[in-house]
Structure 1
Amino acid sequence: MTIDEMRRLPLETFLQRLGCHPVVQKRNDLWYNAPYREEKTPSFKVNTDRNIWFDFGAGHGGDIFTLAGELIRSTDFLTQAKYISDTVGGNFVPLPAPRPAKERAAEPAFQQVEQKTLIYGVLKDYLAQRGISPEVAARHCRQISYRVHGKPYFAIGFPNMSGGWELRSKLFKGCVPPKDISLVSNQKTPTDVCDVFEGFFDFLSAATLGVAEGNDAVVLNSVGNLAKSFPRLDGYAKINCWLDNDEAGRKTFEVLRARYKEKVVDCSGLYAGCKDLNEHLQKKLQEKTTNNKTLKFRL
């Protein structure tokens, strides 16, 4: 892909490859939940005519390159371009531009990336808000500390197959490149069943609910990574799909059904009425808390 091709790429297409879909459409404006942080009321607007975005919650916006910069926390233009190309499946290999001998090379977006056991209370509180116990998260996630332009950050990290990390916190949603699927293998006993999830919070929700115990799992980390999962899924006799109850989830299921036929099982009926499995888990926990309070009041 050339720079001009990237600049012309519709923002809604780029966001779709990241697994982000509009919540509301008003004429030429698409409203999303911000793709790089958690929010319940969409404040991120894409104007399809001008192909620009603006985040009213953060007070800034721009084009596809500035959006890529927000997602990977990098102001380096070539790093942004490489991320866009990787996301949409392009092949961008920029030629090195001539520069003065004393000019320093661009620093990587993420520096001093370190992993350790989940210990920070603020991360455990965020997990609890999503219905995930620290014990469940600790079996599959790590606490990731990193620096961007010298500033320290931390988040919950979920490893992918290429050595990258999916990052989540109350304030940030992103990825330490490279972007890829994640595979969780049941090493105790062989299994011919694999569960497919869009994101790792849905996987953690399944572990919390106990609905996929003993199976292997593939976490796409974006529906745009679906094709990368085929070499892993080809060998299973049964594929359980725990995909989002939205258009992207349905289309992803249709692609899997077309490839694997009767091997594929749609499990989304368990959380009908909810966007995804994690929302279903939070709803069940809220109902349990309400019922316990009602029972205590009656006693």
Structure 2
Amino acid sequence: KQQGNSLWYKSPFRQETEASFKVNSDRNLWFDYGLCRGGNIIALAQELYASDHVPYLLNKIAEQAPHIRPVSFYFRQQASEPSFQHLEVEELTHPALLRYLQERGIDIALAKLECRELHFVHNGKPYFAIGFPNVAGGYEVRNRFFKGCIAPKDISHIRQHGEPREKCLVFEGMTDYLSFLTLRMKNCPAIANLDGQDYVILNSVANVSKAIDVLHGYERIHCLLDNDEAGRRAYWELEREFAGRIRDFSDNYKGHKDLNDYLCGKRQELVISPPSRTIVKPKKKGLGL
């Protein structure tokens, strides 16, 4: 069935009587509400064929829909030298990367669980960096001297095991997410299981639209975005979509640009009070979450 720009299908991943698989015809993205997972056509092929090998996935897409010709597109793209080459993904262990995280106040043990160590060639030169995976198979890339991404660019969606969660926390970037985990561990060290919610990391405020389908599966949405104009615009865009079930927690680190600055005690030189945002003040020391 069709509702505006949304096309609804029975999921290809299970037997069902009611359609729960949505395709947005404007953005060419899908979302499965049973899996709480979605993305582009490559992400769909990854789920269907249980593989991350892009050439194999493109061949499978071409077999099912030869008029799309993704294989031809892929090889045209490969005709020019790619920016990132010879990517190797390892456990995060390099001392220089761990020192960088420590300087940002991030707990190393937590970072090792969430991140990877990447080795690659960029513009003919070898690099190593911290890699934070996204839902489309790409990585956010960080080290002391480099900030970028290995395509495809997309959001990251961290889901807990077991029953689906009602609450999701939204962050702008990987450093904010890791800072939150570090702060939570410091403030609640005696609590064994703190994962009562899922997480969405935008990896760029330009990815807000990509997060909307994922966030529709949650009853409560808590935003911990940056205290700047870009963070305010991102929150307002989400509030228009989720009015009544979204809350802004950025006032809990007012005077700091973001959660990592709050963690490190680095204050803004100029604090601009955001107008008319819904503020939830914590009941006790910490972030009130």
Using the size of structure 2 for normalisation, the TM-score is: 0.61
Match of 1:172 among 146, 152, 156: 146
Q: In the alignment, does 2:173 pair up with 1:199?
A: yes
Tell me if the contact between 2:134 and 2:153 (Cα under 8 Å) persists in the aligned partners: yes
Match of 1:214 among 174, 196, 202: 196
Structure-2 separation of matches of 1:148 and 1:222: 21
**Superposition pairs for residues 141-152 of structure 1, below 5 Å?**
141-152=115-126
1:238 corresponds to: 220
Tell me if the contact between 1:202 and 1:276 (Cα under 8 Å) persists in the aligned partners: yes
1:268 corresponds to: 250
Tell me if the contact between 2:160 and 2:195 (Cα under 8 Å) persists in the aligned partners: no
2:211 corresponds to: 229
Q: In the alignment, does 2:129 pair up with 1:155?
A: yes
Deviation at 1:189, TM superposition (A): 4.5
Deviation at 1:252, TM superposition (A): 1.1
Where structure 2 has 5 or more consecutive residues not aligned to the other structure, the ranges are: 1-72, 188-193, 267-289
Q: In the alignment, does 2:221 pair up with 1:247?
A: no
Structure-2 separation of matches of 1:113 and 1:214: 34
Using the size of structure 1 for normalisation, the TM-score is: 0.59
**CA offset digits 1:42-72 (Å, max 9, x no partner):** xxxxxxxxxxxxxxxxxxxxxxxxxxxxxxx
Where structure 1 has 5 or more consecutive residues not aligned to the other structure, the ranges are: 1-92, 98-103, 285-299
- Which amino acid in 1 is paired with 2:227? N
| Higher helix fraction (1 or 2) | 1
Structure-2 separation of matches of 1:281 and 1:188: 30
2:88 corresponds to: 114
For structure 1, which segment, 155-164 or 187-196, has the greater mean C-alpha deviation from structure 2 after superposition? 187-196
Deviation at 1:187, TM superposition (A): 1.4
Identify the structure with bigger relative contact order (alpha carbons < 8 Å, sequence gap 6+).
1
Tell me if the contact between 1:207 and 1:213 (Cα under 8 Å) persists in the aligned partners: no
**Superposition pairs for residues 95-114 of structure 1, below 5 Å?**
105-114=79-88
**Superposition pairs for residues 70-85 of structure 1, below 5 Å?**
none
Q: In the alignment, does 2:269 pair up with 1:282?
A: no
**CA offset digits 1:108-160 (Å, max 9, x no partner):** 11111111111111100000011002101011000011012442101000001
Structure-2 separation of matches of 1:196 and 1:143: 24
Count, aligned residues: 186
1:190 corresponds to: 164
- Which amino acid in 1 is paired with 2:117? Q
**CA offset digits 1:201-222 (Å, max 9, x no partner):** 0000111111874210000000
**CA offset digits 1:193-238 (Å, max 9, x no partner):** 0000000100001111118742100000000000000110001000
Aligned-residue CA RMSD (Å): 2.3
Structure-1 separation of matches of 2:160 and 2:183: 17
Tell me if the contact between 1:158 and 1:200 (Cα under 8 Å) persists in the aligned partners: yes
2:103 corresponds to: 129
- Which amino acid in 1 is paired with 2:257? K
SS in 2 for 1:107: coil
- Which amino acid in 1 is paired with 2:137? G
Identity rate of aligned residues, in percent?
46
Tell me if the contact between 2:101 and 2:107 (Cα under 8 Å) persists in the aligned partners: yes
